[in-house]
Structure 1
């Protein structure tokens, strides 16, 4: 994997084998803040939301959520699934905490050092539970309020975007739960609707994708 800059000055990782980036080249930080924090977590009313992330990756989404939880004093339990953890030497060169919140750099690296398969309270308002697993075979509990669906694109990993998997995610959400994703393809929208979600097409991040999706469970 290679580190590459994006349009907002933040970095992302590029996977040559998939010809795919971990985050938008239009702006990694801008994309994550818009899709997963503003459109996702901020939209859910629970004072103690349980978040599921599909793809821990660089830890950017988790770090932004930790900062948001501490700022708002909403108690977030954050479960993140990752089959292939990113090497520590790559993480240290991404420069996320230095760009986003230098005084909280220790928390960013704590996310990556945290043990797998157990609850790790990292701040009074943020508990992390990382699971090293294949998302397609994971047994989801019926426990979540918000899902960050941040898998690689459907044309790169179609097995991650099947109706069966979205049905399992639907059932894992509590009533009123939401799923957000950067992918607004018609096929994805129709698949989400087919399993029971009410789906909104919303404006994408500034200078980025034109539309994104937010799917809600009635």
Structure 2
């Protein structure tokens, strides 16, 4: 699958897949979008000092990098699980500029996330442990006690197999009470699947270029 490196409005990179006509991150600002959807609306909305995070779509590693930096800054302990069926090739990883754009003095941590072995637990820092799973989120085993889900699959019209009732039911069953799920998607069909799974769902303001997004909670 061909991936092209592109620069977004905030100076950070995204990747474009021509055959899907789809970007990994918003062209209106990759870092800006990730911070808004997953860090501010998700991580900062959770009060736990120790947290299990499950991400659907490791992709560029941007969400993991921002979460790691936030955990270090705010003294949180994060056990971070992320699933990806198609990991990036090393050349693309080397080209991504998130380390330089987000936090140049910590850019070695971004490289460490990608260098970490797949399908095993790796301590990136004393506070942040990474478990990258190479596989399909529809069939993989999930950790128990998930406090926060970053649902960052490609859009439903591009990757409909990732947005189904079974996955939302499965996530709900493995989440702790008070657990939060955030996604950039605001489609009514997705919201109804979340509600059917048992979540309380709200529409909240989206990142630049997108009017709304969804945040769900297991009550």
TM-score of the superposed pair, with normalisation by structure 1: 0.97
Counterpart in 1 of 2:217? 216
Greater Cα offset, 135-144 or 189-198: 135-144
Distance, in Å, in 1 between the alignment partners of 2:144 and 2:206 is 29
CA distance in 2, matches of 1:22, 1:187: 22
1:184-195 → structure 2 map (5 Å cutoff): 184-195=186-197
Rounded to whole Å, the distance in 2 between the matches of 1:158 and 1:198 is 23
Residue in 2 aligned with 1:25? 27
Provide Cα deviations, 1:186-215, integer angstroms capped at 9, x if missing partner.
11111111111000100112x221111000
Deviation at 1:90, TM superposition (A): 0.6
CA contact (8 A) 1:27 1:208 kept: no
1:88 and 1:107 map into 2 onto residues whose CA distance is 15
Matched, 1:100 2:102: yes
Aligned length: 217
Answer yes or no: is the 8 Å Cα contact 1:81–1:133 preserved in 2. yes
Structure 1 unaligned regions, length at least 5: none
1:176 aligns with 2:181: no
Alignment partners' CA distance in 1, 2:157 and 2:199: 22
Tell me how large the CA RMSD over aligned residues is.
Answer: 0.8
* CA shift for structure 1 position 143: 2.3
1:120 correspondence with 2:108: no
Q: Work out the CA distance in 2 between the residues paired with 1:117 and 1:44.
A: 27
Instruction: Write the distance in 1 (CA, Å) between the matches of 2:131 and 2:218.
Output: 23
> Deviations 1:23-67 (Å, cap 9, x if unpaired)?
011110000001100100111111101100000000000000010
Confirm or deny: 8 A CA contact 1:15 1:21 kept in the other structure: yes
- 1:63 alignment partner, one of 45, 62, 65: 65
Residue 201 (structure 1) aligned with residue 196 (structure 2)? no
> How many Å separate the matches in 2 of 1:156 and 1:204?
20
CA separation in 2, counterparts of 1:209 and 1:94?
A: 24
Runs (4+) of structure 1 exceeding 6 A deviation are none
Match of 1:15 in 2: 17
Deviation readout 1:79-133 (Å, 9 max, x if unpaired): 0001110111111111110111111111100000001112111111111111101
